[in-house]
Amino acid sequence: MADWKCCDKCWHSPERPCPDLVECLTAGPVCHDDSSCRERIAARTSDRRRENPVRPIIFIGAGTCGLGAGAGKSLVRIRQYIEKNQLDTDVIEVGCIGMCIAEPMVDVQLPGKTRVSFHGITEDKVDSLLDSVFSGEIPSEDVLGQFRSDTLASWPGVPYLDEHPFMRNQTRWVLANCGIINPTDIWEYIARGGYRALAKSLGKITPQELCDMVIKSGLRGRGGGGFPTGRKWKFALDTPGDQKYYICNADEGDPGAFMDRAVIEGDPYRLLEGLAIGSYAIGASKAYVYIRAEYPLAIKHLEEAIEEAKALGLLGENILDSGFNLEIVIKQGAGAFVCGEETALIHSIEGKRGMPRPRPPYPAVRGLFDKPTVINNVETLANVPDIVANGAEWFSGVGTETSKGTKVFALSGKVARTGLVEVAMGTPLRQIIFDIGGGIANGKAFKAVQIGGPSGGCIPTPHLDILIDYESLKTVGAMMGSGGLVVMDEDNCMVDVAKFFMDFIQRESCGKCIPCREGTKRMLDILKRITRGRGSESKEEALERFQGMMYLTRLAGVIQDTSLCGLGQTAPNPVLSTLRWFRDEYEAHVYERKCPAGACTELLGYRIDTDKCKGCTLCAKKCPVDAIMGSPKSPHYINPDRCIACGTCADVCRFDAVITE
Amino acid sequence: MIKIEVNNRTVEAEPGEMILTALRRAGINVPTLCHMENLFPSGACRMCVVEVEGQRSLVPSCAFPVADGMKIQTHSARVVRARKTIVELLLANHPDDCLYCVRNKNCELQELSSELGVVQRHYTGEKNDYKQDISSPSIVRDPSKCILCGRCVRVCEEVQGVAAIDFAHRGSKSCVETAFGEGLNVSSCVNCGQCIAVCPTGALTERSHIQMVVDALNNPDLYCVVQHAPSVSVTLAEEFGMKPGTDVDGIMVTALRQLGFKKVFDTSFSADLTIMEEASELVHRIQTGGKIPMMTSCSPGWIKFVETFYPDFIENLSTCKSPQQMMGAVIKHYFAQKEGIDPAKIFSVSIMPCTAKKFECGRQEMIHDGVADVDAVLTTRELARFIRQRGVDINALSPDTADTPFGHRSTAGKIFGASGGVMEAALRTAYWMITGKDMEDPKIQDVRGMKGVKEIHLNIGGLELGFAVASGLGNARRLLEEIRNGRSDIHFIEIMTCPGGCIAGGGQPLGANQQAIRARMQKLYTIDRDEKVKFSHHNEDILRIYKDFLEKPLGHKSHHLLHTHYSSRDKVIR
């Protein structure tokens, strides 16, 4: 008897599916009445919901980020501890809850008590933490907070996790299960209401109604473009075709963005359920998850989740006896940024070089293998089950006029609390950075926040009160993008930031269209010239530096205006947006040949503090261009015309007499 | 028909067609670099962008369908600035060595730059620096001059089905490469040169034999002879500004003599010879139950294609050498013997519409005891260049006839230059061989024209026979797949590597559109219509060579001199 069956009366199998399976698995049995079956099912649900564990449970955040912070070693130590002390304890590897700063994170739940989260539990801290917790002590320096529970006793004097400043202002829908459930146990997802939306869709809602529901919910693409998801579905539904495809775009490539990875690692089932509902809505019998090969853990979890769903009959032929079939194929991307663009992604799945093609025809009309295809990003799809389960009004009840629901951001850079945050649309940017993120680390001053990755822009202090909303972000030259949020402080040079993104783009351009391929390279050349050191510049090069600046915006305009795909059309944004808000920094680089933030090392000037210089001559001996003059035992002098700003003098000076400026 | 508004003027357009098509019909010239006739738009170059009211960005007119009432500006300041910037960007990463470039004054990039008034270097910086690939016997690739329009990649993959080259690497380091970045000579390239024919710049050119020929002509110890292929006389004129479809056969003969060749022979003669051998082989195969369908072997790109991709069809290939090689063989063996010249002292040049011929003449099977049948191959383009170099004024020449013993041809040999021509010529002679009579009407309309695959079923002497003609290797591929899958009604197949046949070969004058190719083809058929000797087996020179030397088709000497063999090849040699 398969493990989901309460007794032999349950006849469900993938070959002979029962439409009431999901209901039965959580609140069943449906087809017969038997109190012992009912108890067995209720016990399983309660167990997976951790409502009353009989044994202590240790949870460890073992997403890629946690492992990077040392969770792997902590896990080994935890297992050693359990063995040494001969404890009857479960250890569960969960995904990432989003608090990068707190990794490695370990939660402990003792029988009858609430689950408590601890931060920074590196290998060496494991023993003392577990010693304390198992003896009933919560070490206050390690604790992040305890979970709320209706059934379990709370720990006195321990703050609640949802009151932590990082969590307090979040609206966690997509990330609801991330870092909490076991991402390799489908029962945990089902016990928390998973797959109800799919069962509801297949049983009672027509594809047409589903499209209308998603249109009404106001859900828009979370991958960058922000196109209304339901309308995309409807185009594909209305296009006749013997075969249609659904593609989940998990080719997350923006520098500093890791939302999709966290969702798949921490809660792959939510994505698969959304994918199944979407496929049903457009009439696709085959779906692809295009995921970058650099996400091995996410791929592993996704593969396992697909197998689990298949074994239960939640994927495959005649799902829940609805007549709907769905096969999901994982296609690993080879690490090209442009393959996030939908037509390039389609080419990649088809086995061709990942290069975009002109649209129209749009993929919804002519997509993968020339068939109608819908492509949605991971976060978009992860929103779908809740919309179906709770209704369009519930979803559209949160957000602004044109942007509904929530948005996940990867908060990184110079902020005190980096991590993955999910906020309601309409949340002020300031709140994300200063309340959730805790402001700038090390007491430095905030300068700007880069939003939307290489296609996005920088938002400076005067616009920090802008609300998270597709349209309002555009008014300040930024865009929602996929959700990268890089905070910059006074030490960041905005020209350098623009240069970083241009370098990224000119390397990741597919090379197909001329403006993007050649234009981004020349834009980078121009930026390189204005950040190049004075000493190494010839007269002709100086002329080119000015000429470049004269044509920079014109070139940017043509690239935006003529490029083939979204990557090229938005490629100049980082430059245009920094030019718009930080023109003074550009001017300082071009005219004064100075980098106000001190980040462009070639532009730094070196001067010798005559009071500190002892005349040891070391700097003069080491200077590669003989730019330092002076007699022994008397203060030296750096000839600025000769200096190439290599910094050797500052490195070798034993008296801190070389000043950089 | 719907109406669109272009530059404030009403223009009619077909629903669903692309803006560019409507503009061209209306006589509005919008520049393009990546656009290719009859292929799906790729939208890569962005040169054809236009301003469409209501669209946020400029749209590529090649890939954007018209809509009723659409308002378009094709030369607004915004559009012209964009186009000019794109050309400036290309030039910023281009070697800028026009004076040293074989495509100087015949280069699309140069023309665009001039049309758009690029006179200043606005964008400067590092340029990509690549090595030339001179490994191929037929084609020279210079990636530094490549603007990545993708036309070569597309013609190679989509038209020819060879895919020897593709885009490699990313961003500003993108380039067109062979598999693993190795030389063309170890790739699956069949040397057809269609990539050269579509290349807008000097990134792809033929491997020139001009210097080799000049050296031979200057060498008093060598006896230089030349043959010219059937299609060359109807295309050479274009190199001198005459309109497509002009025949300069006699003038070309005079020009070749002025260049210093001692004898000028007509490859159409050896095309007749090929027909005698090939038609005999076909009749033999049909009557003795040999390997059917038999496939022609005149086109060296096609031969390498079979050897590389369809080695299971090698036995289907006719064992006949191509007309070029047959001519080479009879020059060095029959002519040399007759004239008392040491074959090793003869330098045999051929003027071909083809780059693969350069490869063919170097094949080991075509060299006996160190003596090659043909020593050097000049394409039509190279001949024109050579004529100009030597100061020969083609307009001042009077026509002359080719030399005996290989100067006379039938028109059957002449129409070899068009797709379907070999088939038509072979059928004329095979009919005679089977029935003992000449066809009443030698014109076989069904195998003429530009269609990619042409078929005809005939009853010849009580035999129900099927014939197919394909040009362009992509079409050949489709036909071969059908036969692989069991199709058995076809007995004889003519394949030409280049779409349309030799008149559109990879060595022909550049910049020819479909209309020009049709005109070239039409000229060959006009010659066939107007001249008297329409059958290879009625060519007196052919009758003579069999009488004096070869004895009979498929005889011992023929076997030795006029037939060859093939062997399978790896797609990529590593």
A661: pLDDT strictly greater than 80 = no
Tokens, residue A156: 């006195």
A633: pLDDT strictly greater than 60 = yes
Answer yes or no: do A560 and B57 touch at CB < 8 A.
yes
d(CA B54, CA A569): 17
Q: Which residues of chain B have pLDDT under 50?
A: none
Query: Best residue in B89, B113, B120 to probe A by mutation, most A CBs within 10 Å?
Result: B89
CA A397 to chain centre: 24
Tokens, residue A485: 């949020």
Residue B574's pLDDT is what? 67
Tokens, residue B464: 């129900």
Query: Which residue type is seen at B30?
Result: V
Q: How confident is the model at residue A203 (pLDDT cuts 50, 70, 90)?
A: confident
d(CA B59, CA A561): 9
DSSP A100: G
Phi, psi values for residue B424, rounded to 5°: -65, -45
Whether residue A361 is preceded by a cis peptide bond, meaning omega within 30 degrees of 0, is yes
Residue (of B156, B168, B240) closest to B199 by Cα position = B156
Tokens, residue A107: 């939660």
**pLDDT tens by residue, B110-128:** 999 999 999 999 999 889 9
A2: pLDDT strictly greater than 70 = no
Rounded mean pLDDT, A142-149 = 93
From A409's Cα to the closest Cα of chain B, the distance in A is 28
Indicate the SS3 state at residue B89: helix
Answer yes or no: do B172 and A521 touch at CB < 8 A.
yes
What residues contact A217, with CB distance under 8 A and at least 6 apart? A230, A387, A392, A395, A396, A404, A405
**pLDDT tens by residue, A494-522:** 999 999 999 999 999 999 999 999 999 99
Question: Do residues A21 and A320 lie in contact, with contact meaning Cβ atoms separated by under 8 Å?
Answer: yes
d(CA A423, CA A411): 12
Query: Which residue type is seen at B536?
Result: S
CA A321 to chain centre: 36
Residue A441's pLDDT is what? 87
Tokens, residue A206: 């027509």
**pLDDT tens by residue, A545-577:** 999 999 999 999 999 999 999 999 999 999 999
Nearest to A517 among B42, B43, B174 (CB): B174
Sheet holding A286-292, edge to edge: A327-333, A286-292, A245-250, A373-377
Residues belonging to chain B: 574
Tokens, residue B240: 């001198």
Residue (of A99, A349, A379, A185) closest to A264 by Cα position = A379
User: Counting beta carbons within 10 angstroms of the beta carbon of residue B179, is it exposed (0 to 12), middle (13 to 18) or buried (19 or more)?
Assistant: middle
**pLDDT tens by residue, A256-289:** 889 999 999 999 999 999 999 999 999 999 999 9
Residue (of A273, A255, A230) closest to A405 by Cα position = A230
Answer yes or no: do B60 and A358 touch at CB < 8 A.
yes
- CA angle A278–A344–B131, rounded 5-degree value: 165
A536: pLDDT strictly greater than 80 = no
A560 CB within 8 Å of a chain B CB: yes
Catalytic residues of B: 278, 281, 298, 318, 357, 360, 365, 502
Paired residues of B176 in beta bridges = B167
Provide the CB-side half-sphere exposure for A449 (13 A, CA): 32
d(CA A37, CA A7): 7
Residue B365's H or E segment, with its range, is none
Residue (of B358, B318, B355) closest to B192 by Cα position = B355
Indicate the SS3 state at residue A175: coil
Look at the block and give the residue holding tokens 């750096």. A638
**pLDDT tens by residue, A39-51:** 888 888 888 988 8
Tokens, residue B296: 């022609």
Residue (of B44, B144, B86, B195) closest to A510 by Cα position = B44
User: Counting beta carbons within 10 angstroms of the beta carbon of residue A157, is it exposed (0 to 12), middle (13 to 18) or buried (19 or more)?
Assistant: exposed
d(CA A384, CA A222): 12
d(CA A565, CA A562): 9
Nearest to B85 among A508, A555, A564 (CB): A555
Pairing of strands A373-377, A245-250: parallel
**pLDDT tens by residue, A297-325:** 999 999 999 999 999 999 999 999 999 99
Phi, psi values for residue B263, rounded to 5°: -130, 140
Nearest to A511 among B41, B81, B174 (CB): B174
Tell me which chain B residue has its CA closest to the CA of residue A502: B171
Indicate the SS3 state at residue B371: strand
A551 CB within 8 Å of a chain B CB: yes
Look at the block and give the residue holding tokens 């910037």. B85
Question: Do residues A129 and A139 lie in contact, with contact meaning Cβ atoms separated by under 8 Å?
Answer: yes
Residue A646's pLDDT is what? 83
Answer yes or no: do A544 and B124 touch at CB < 8 A.
yes
Question: Do residues B202 and B40 lie in contact, with contact meaning Cβ atoms separated by under 8 Å?
Answer: no
Answer yes or no: do A358 and B148 touch at CB < 8 A.
no
d(CA B103, CA B89): 20
Q: How confident is the model at residue A638 (pLDDT cuts 50, 70, 90)?
A: very high
d(CA A210, CA A282): 9
State chain A's maximal CA–CA distance in angstroms: 101
CA B417 to chain centre: 10
**Rounded-to-10 torsion of CA A76, A81, A86, A92:** -50
d(CA B238, CA B218): 28
Please list the alpha-helical segments (H only) found in B417-489: 421-435, 473-484
Answer yes or no: do A358 and B43 touch at CB < 8 A.
yes
Tell me which chain A residue has its CA closest to the CA of residue B66: A360
Tokens, residue A497: 């930031």
Phi, psi values for residue A273, rounded to 5°: -65, -45
d(CA B5, CA B70): 6
Tell me which chain B residue has its CA closest to the CA of residue A358: B43
Tokens, residue B1: 């028909």
CA B343 to chain centre: 30
Tokens, residue A384: 């779908």
From B170's Cα to the closest Cα of chain A, the distance in A is 5
Q: How confident is the model at residue A538 (pLDDT cuts 50, 70, 90)?
A: confident
A100: pLDDT strictly greater than 90 = no
Rg (CA), chain A: 28
d(CA B511, CA A111): 83
A205: pLDDT strictly greater than 70 = yes
Q: Would you say the pTM of this structure is higher than 0.95?
A: no
Pairing of strands B2-6, B9-13: antiparallel
Answer yes or no: do A357 and B43 touch at CB < 8 A.
yes
Look at the block and give the residue holding tokens 């890791």. A258
First to last CA, chain A: 76
Question: Do residues B473 and B497 lie in contact, with contact meaning Cβ atoms separated by under 8 Å?
Answer: yes
CA B144 to chain centre: 25
Query: Which residue type is seen at A253?
Result: G
Higher pLDDT, A537 or B247: B247
Phi, psi values for residue A382, rounded to 5°: -70, -20
Question: Do residues B465 and B459 lie in contact, with contact meaning Cβ atoms separated by under 8 Å?
Answer: yes
CA B63 to chain centre: 28
Calculate helix-pair angle for B421-435, B267-288, nearest 10 degrees: 50
Indicate the SS3 state at residue A329: strand
Tell me which chain A residue has its CA closest to the CA of residue B147: A514
Question: Do residues A511 and B169 lie in contact, with contact meaning Cβ atoms separated by under 8 Å?
Answer: yes
A251: pLDDT strictly greater than 90 = yes
Higher pLDDT, B369 or A461: A461
Tokens, residue A496: 């350098």
Concatenating the DSSP letter of every residue in B282-326 gives HHHHHHHT-SSSEE----HHHHHHHHHH-GGGGGGB--BPPHHHH
